[in-house]
Amino acid sequence: MTDAASNTGEQLMIELRDMNKWYGEFHVLKNINLKVKKGERIVICGPSGSGKSTMIRCINRLEEHQRGDILVNGVPLTHDIKNIETIRKDVGMVFQHFNLFPHLTVLENCVLAPIWVKKIPRKEAEATAMKYLERVKIPEQAKKYPGQLSGGQQQRVAIARSLCMNPDVMLFDEPTSALDPEMIKEVLDVMIELAREGMTMLCVTHEMGFAKTVADRVIFMADGQIVEENEPHEFFNNPQHERTKLFLSQIIDH
Amino acid sequence: MKYELQPTLPPPANTIGVIGWMRKHLFNGPLNSIATLVLAWLAFTLLTPVIDWAFFSANWAGTTREDCTSGGACWVFVGQRIDQFLYGFYPREETWRLNLSFFLMLALILWLAIPKIPAKGIAAVLTLVVFPVVAFFLLTGGVFGLEAVDTHQWGGLSLTLVLAVVGMVASLPLGVLLALGRRSEMPIVKSLSVVYIEIWRGVPLITVLFMASVMLPLFFPEGMSFDKLLRALIGITLFQTAYMAEVVRGGLQAIPKGQYEAADSLGLGYWQKMIMIILPQALKMMIPGVVNTFIALFKDTSLVLIIGLFDLLAIVQAATNDPKWIGYATEGYVFVALVFWIFCFSMSRYSQYLEKRLQTGHGNRA
Ligand SMILES: Nc1ncnc2c1ncn2[C@@H]1O[C@H](COP(=O)(O)OP(=O)(O)O)[C@@H](O)[C@H]1O
Ligand SMILES: [Mg+2]
């Protein structure tokens, strides 16, 4: 089955095939099919409760799917703990509420996983961490604790922390929706730069400006299904489904 | 309307200071005033004789009961027996070993308890791993030229402390494991943990001690003698572990789900996640609960008297039956109560101090 992917000549980073998930009786994701090529930037939007978070959280097994296949870098996600470990090393994730470790300094947040998961020597890990903290423009905060930083700074640290693992894909789950308006831009700027450098990204967000600037494709989800996907210009100017039109009219009116 | 800057005035004199405080808290209204006066009178009439007995007309100096003549407390009794109360039947020329262990422990506890002193990790390892080994060899002897001292010679306050400290040092890590077990996703581990916790929490400690002294030997081959103190220690530890596990579980529940998810998404394994991310945060939050459990444990150690170990309470009680000192039981028990109170009150104050410290956000929570 993977042959089909390799035949296209382009490397598939993520592939979801007829993926289904239930929470108890509740069928939250229905027959999701999605292919993400290396270097592609995908924005996922849709009404609240449509299953966007659940879908991307299945990709690094924060949630377990019950039917269909998920392949990351060609590795299938199964109960095999080895595969889960491999995939988590390759997939970075940024959360809505940052989820930094409050008892560790910014630098310690960044070097923890490289040292313990990738077994990189501390010196090297710290050098890498400083490099990424500079990339997100807060090297001077390295010795502080997360609680001493603003929301925007915390989210940038969270991005740096993920990048320190040198991931192949980055998942973002509404990275700016817990931020005060004046801090959204500093985080989006970092994400745009990351996109320009060729990082493969899956980003749940309602920042339509961001989608227009960097996305190769926009995916619209509703009721646990992918309703429509298109390149951004077409998606915003020429939505196909009523559901999409309604959603777009709602977010643009505001 | 014309605006002008108003001067800042001090509050009215009768609302501040001692007088102000008394007006506000003791004499705000007739009922409260009467209550204040009645309670003050009661406290005065009840406490004066006690204070007089314990201090002013007490007998402090002397060597025998003949020296207690004034009708007040006879502290001579406690003074004459203090060595026994502290060290039990431990050979007198070896008691430095008990003292040394005690001061080592005190130093470690201060190191752990005073926030300003750094390197808590090292202190924790010393306390939980190194100290128990050192103290074991110091107390039991038989190596490094130390005279061997059999545990049936142990007694008094030092035995109480051994019981309490071993109970604390052992039940904390075991309690953490058990709490993790109870929250585990593996059904067998989870049910075993739940069963363990619920069984031990439903049994009084006194029953556990009886069973430890009567039943444990049944499980061991005939003729194999099994130290009585060790049996008590096992009983107390197994019992306290269940309580500790519940305290730890409370701490674990207070950690937001996002912390687990962040650790998972970075690829940390279960133990890495627990040891480096979850437990350090949870332990900080549950220190007050842990200290409260320690206080209960400390007081419960006195129950070992019923299986024939001479802890502080038991040894004092035995001394009060000595014909030479008959009639001075009150002094003995007051002394025991005071010693227990000093230890427990210190722990309780420390726990209150920590609760305040945690509340005022000295932690670095996001
Ligand atoms: N742990 C859970 N247990 C049960 N239902 C859940 C759980 N997490 C999410 N859901 C439900 O699944 C649906 C999709 O949730 P989610 O993926 O968070 O939506 P979105 O991110 O698009 O807002 C929602 O209806 C939500 O209530
Ligand atoms: Mg969501």
| Chain segment B197-228, per-residue pLDDT in tens | 999 989 998 998 888 888 777 777 665 667 78
Strand partners, A21: A29
What's the confidence (pLDDT) of residue B366?
38
Asked if the Cβ–Cβ distance from A116 to B259 is below 8 Å, we say: no
Closest-approaching ligand to the CA atom of A62: 1
CA distance from start to end of chain A = 45
For residue A244, the tally of other CB atoms under 10 A from its CB is 21
Q: How far is B364 from chain A (nearest CA, A)?
A: 5
Q: How far is A192 from chain B (nearest CA, A)?
A: 22
Of B259, B261, B280, the CB nearest to A62: B261
Residue B275 contacts A where some CB pair is shorter than 8 Å:
no
Q: Residue B364: its chain A contacts at CB < 8 A? A: 102-103, 145-148
Stretch among A59-68, A70-79, A219-228, B310-319 having the lowest mean pLDDT: B310-319
Asked if the Cβ–Cβ distance from A102 to B365 is below 8 Å, we say: yes
CA distance from start to end of chain B = 47
User: Could you tell me the pLDDT band of residue A184, with boundaries at 50, 70 and 90?
Assistant: very high
Residue B258 contacts A where some CB pair is shorter than 8 Å:
yes
B 334-363 residues inside an 8 A Cβ radius of A = 363
Q: Mind listing the pLDDT tens digit for each residue in A72-107?
A: 998 999 888 899 999 999 999 999 999 999 999 999
Q: CB of A30 within 8 A of CB of A65? A: no
Report, as an integer, the average pLDDT of B273-279: 93
Asked if the Cβ–Cβ distance from B262 to A100 is below 8 Å, we say: yes
- Coil, strand or helix at B309: coil
Q: Which atom of ligand 1 is nearest to the CA of A24?
A: 4
Going from the Cα of A205 to the center of ligand 2, the distance in angstroms, rounded, reads 9
Q: How far is A223 from chain B (nearest CA, A)?
A: 24
- The contacts of residue B172 (CB under 8 Å, 6+ apart) are B128, B244, B290
CA B137 to CA B146: how far, in whole Å?
9
Inform me whether the pLDDT recorded for B55 exceeds 60. yes
- In chain B, how long is the greatest CA-to-CA distance? 100
Going from the Cα of A57 to the center of ligand 2, the distance in angstroms, rounded, reads 10
Q: Residue A99: its chain B contacts at CB < 8 A? A: 256, 258-259, 261-262
Which of A84, A90, A99 to mutate: most B Cβ within 10 Å? A99
For residue A216, the tally of other CB atoms under 10 A from its CB is 15
Residue B261 contacts A where some CB pair is shorter than 8 Å:
yes
Task: List chain B domain ranges.
Answer: 75-90+149-358
The values of phi and psi at residue B309, to 5°, are -95, 145
What's the confidence (pLDDT) of residue A141?
92
Q: Residue B280: its chain A contacts at CB < 8 A? A: 103
Task: List chain A domain ranges.
Answer: 38-202+217-253
- Unique residue bearing structure tokens 């509740």: A26
Between A48 and B114, whose confidence is greater?
A48
Q: Residue B263: its chain A contacts at CB < 8 A? A: 101
Q: Which atom of ligand 1 is nearest to the CA of A63?
A: 1
User: Could you tell me the pLDDT band of residue B264, with boundaries at 50, 70 and 90?
Assistant: very high
Asked if the Cβ–Cβ distance from A88 to B264 is below 8 Å, we say: yes
Residue B364 contacts A where some CB pair is shorter than 8 Å:
yes
Q: Residue A97: its chain B contacts at CB < 8 A? A: 258
Residue B317 contacts A where some CB pair is shorter than 8 Å:
no
The secondary structure of chain B in percent helix, strand, coil, rounded to multiples of 5, reads 75, 0, 25
Dihedral angle sign, alpha carbons of residues B242, B245, B247, B249: negative
Q: In what order do the strands lie in the sheet with A12-23?
A: A26-37, A12-23, A67-72, A75-76
Going from the Cα of A173 to the center of ligand 2, the distance in angstroms, rounded, reads 7
Domain at B75-90+149-358, CATH homologous superfamily: MetI-like (1.10.3720.10)
Report, as an integer, the average pLDDT of A51-75: 93
- The contacts of residue A10 (CB under 8 Å, 6+ apart) are A37, A38
What's the confidence (pLDDT) of residue A1?
43
Which ipTM score applies to this complex?
0.92
- How does the average pLDDT of chain A come out, rounded? 91
User: Could you tell me the pLDDT band of residue B326, with boundaries at 50, 70 and 90?
Assistant: confident
- Unique residue bearing structure tokens 């842990």: B290
Residue A48: closest CA among A174, A171, A170, A151:
A174
Asked if the Cβ–Cβ distance from A145 to B280 is below 8 Å, we say: no
The values of phi and psi at residue B213, to 5°, are -85, -25
DSSP code, position B16: S
Length of chain A, please?
254
Query: What is the CB < 6 Å shell around ligand 1?
Result: A 23, 26, 28, 46, 48-54
What's the confidence (pLDDT) of residue B225?
63
Nearest C-alpha to atom 17 of ligand 1 is from which residue? A51
Q: Residue B261: its chain A contacts at CB < 8 A? A: 62, 95, 99
Give the amino acid at B185: E
Residue in chain B nearest A88 by alpha carbon: B267
Asked if the Cβ–Cβ distance from A102 to B366 is below 8 Å, we say: yes
Residue B255: closest CA among B287, B283, B288:
B283
Q: Using most ligand atoms within 8 A of CB, pick from A45, A53, A96, A225 the residue to mutate for ligand 1.
A: A53
Q: Mind listing the pLDDT tens digit for each residue in B21-51?
A: 888 888 788 888 888 889 999 998 898 888 8
> DSSP assignment of A113-169, as one string?
HHHHTS---HHHHHHHHHHHHHHTT-GGGTTS-GGGS-HHHHHHHHHHHHHTT--SE
Q: What angle, rounded to 10 degrees, do the helices at B228-253 and B279-300 form?
A: 140
CA B157 to CA A37: how far, in whole Å?
72
